[in-house]
Amino acid sequence: MTVKELGRRMDSRELSEWVAMHRFFDPLPDPWRQTGLLASAALAPYCPKGRTPKTEDFVPVERPPQHETQIIDAIEKAKARMAEKGIQ
């Protein structure tokens, strides 16, 4: 479904509830965890004993929502790092 169609069929409150439900209760299948499990199983025979990667090692960490000032601070830090490297 397109974003426009989603906007007609669901209001922002309902969409927010679905996002929160997925984020905090994870009722839907998680392709990242499934892929992480496969990756960790595939690497296990090639890793030293006791050093097999965990499924979570391949799953990106979702950070909780940030406050506006934290977001602005992160953007400023990223700009400073880019300036140090000569990237504009």
Structure tokens at 18: 């679905």
What domain range includes position 69? 3-84
pLDDT at 39: 93
Structure tokens at 5: 């169609």
pLDDT at 65: 66
pLDDT band at 49 (very low <50, low <70, confident <90, very high): confident
How many independent structural domains does the chain possess? Answer: 1
Q: What is the mean pLDDT of the chain?
A: 84
- How many CB atoms lie under 10 A from the CB of residue 43? 14
Q: Give the tens place of pLDDT for each residue, 58-68.
A: 888 777 767 88
